[in-house]
């Protein structure tokens, strides 16, 4: 048979040996997996290659990279938090709020920020407005990129819901969106006072940060979303539940919507 196909005997037995023994890296894959697990997934292919060489393996880092890809291993990385601060590009407003989150009525102090979520390696940005009186989400917008339109659309959606917002203060960080002349003009046209946190001080906007933490812990991290669209649908349901059903201890066991309704009942007595 070998003579008919003009194949050397040595070539035949070489390929037969490879078929029986795989590619010869089974033991190396097992060791790579062990090193990866021992270091809690913190090692990438370069550090694993170094660890193998320290154990006497003669192996190239590209081979380690290929083997890790084959068995589905990659170094775990902390998800980077989105930061909208790009320096001074417009007008920075004073910190009118100065961490005084107390309010006497709805629509007295609002706060906003932008947060990034990642679904199947795709990024989505959420820009909500929160009422500090009861923690209610007034409105929100979503975008595949952190552009100005998502922020201005958010403002316009919120202002369309109310006829009178006299005395309202809008607080944010010093992100470039909030320094932009268009954003500031919309606030001014609606007689809204602008307030900004001090640079790099997340505690100045802790109520918004608290909502993002709750949303991610209660929705994002405990579910496996197949797509951005799936997350968007569930986020809509979550915010409806958060506003109307999720009780808060500081609201005397009421949801944000119930607490707002309670205020107006007492106010109209």
Whole-number average pLDDT of the chain: 86
Q: Residue 140: in which H helix or E strand, if any?
A: strand 137-143
**Rounded CA separation 134/258 (Å):** 9
Per-residue pLDDT of 40-90, as tens digits, reads 675 788 878 888 988 888 898 899 998 888 888 876 554 555 555 556 666
- 74, 68 Cβ separation under 8 angstroms: yes
**Rounded CA separation 191/169 (Å):** 9
Q: What is the DSSP letter of 52?
A: H
The label of the residue with tokens 């290659």 reads: 49
Which CATH superfamily hosts domain 109-267?
Ribonuclease H-like superfamily/Ribonuclease H (3.30.420.10)
Pull the structure tokens for residue 45: 């292919």
**Rounded CA separation 86/65 (Å):** 35
- 205, 171 Cβ separation under 8 angstroms: yes
Q: What is the pTM of this model?
A: 0.68
Mean pLDDT of 254-262: 94
Q: Which residue has the higher pLDDT, 262 or 24?
A: 262
Map out the domains of the chain as residue ranges.
9-70, 109-267
The label of the residue with tokens 């190396």 reads: 28
Terminal Cα distance for the chain, rounded: 102
- 201, 178 Cβ separation under 8 angstroms: no
Query: What is the pLDDT, as a whole number, of residue 159?
Result: 96
The total of other beta-carbon atoms located within 10 Å of residue 268's CB is 6
Burial of 108 (0-12, 13-18, 19+ CB in 10 A): middle
**Rounded CA separation 95/104 (Å):** 19
Tell me the CA distances in angstroms from 249 to 12, 205, 259, 263, one per residue in order: 76, 20, 11, 16
Mean pLDDT of 95-117: 93
Q: Which residue has the higher pLDDT, 171 or 252?
A: 171
Pull the structure tokens for residue 107: 């629509």
Per-residue pLDDT of 121-169, as tens digits, reads 899 999 999 999 999 999 999 999 999 999 999 999 999 999 889 899 9
Per-residue pLDDT of 198-238, as tens digits, reads 887 778 889 999 999 999 988 998 888 999 999 999 999 99
């Amino acid at each position: 048979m070998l003579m008919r196909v003009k194949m050397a005997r040595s070539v035949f037995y070489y390929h037969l040996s490879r078929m029986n023994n795989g590619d010869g890296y089974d033991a190396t894959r097992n060791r790579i997996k062990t090193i990866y697990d021992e270091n809690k997934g913190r090692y990438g292919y370069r550090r694993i290659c170094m660890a193998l060489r320290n154990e006497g393996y003669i192996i190239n880092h590209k081979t380690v990279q290929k083997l890790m890809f084959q068995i589905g291993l990659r170094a775990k990385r902390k998800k980077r938090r989105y930061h909208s601060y790009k320096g001074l590009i417009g007008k920075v407003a004073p910190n009118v709020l100065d961490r005084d989150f107390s309010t006497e009525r709805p629509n007295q102090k609002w706060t906003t920020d932008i947060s990034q979520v990642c679904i199947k390696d795709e990024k989505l940005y959420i820009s909500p407005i929160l009422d500090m009186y009861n923690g209610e989400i007034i409105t929100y917008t979503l975008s595949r990129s952190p552009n100005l339109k998502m922020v201005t659309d958010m403002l316009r959606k919120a202002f369309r819901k109310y006829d009178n917002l006299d005395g309202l203060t809008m607080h944010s960080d010093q992100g470039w969106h909030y320094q932009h002349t268009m954003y500031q003009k919309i606030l001014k046209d609606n007689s809204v006072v602008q307030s900004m946190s001090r640079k790099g001080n997340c505690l100045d906007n802790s109520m918004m940060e608290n909502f993002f933490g709750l949303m991610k812990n209660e929705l994002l991290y405990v579910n496996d979303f197949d797509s951005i669209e799936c997350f968007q649908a569930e986020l809509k349901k979550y915010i409806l539940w958060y506003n109307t059903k999720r009780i808060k201890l500081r609201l005397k066991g009421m949801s944000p919507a119930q607490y707002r309704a309670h205020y107006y009942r007492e106010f109209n007595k």
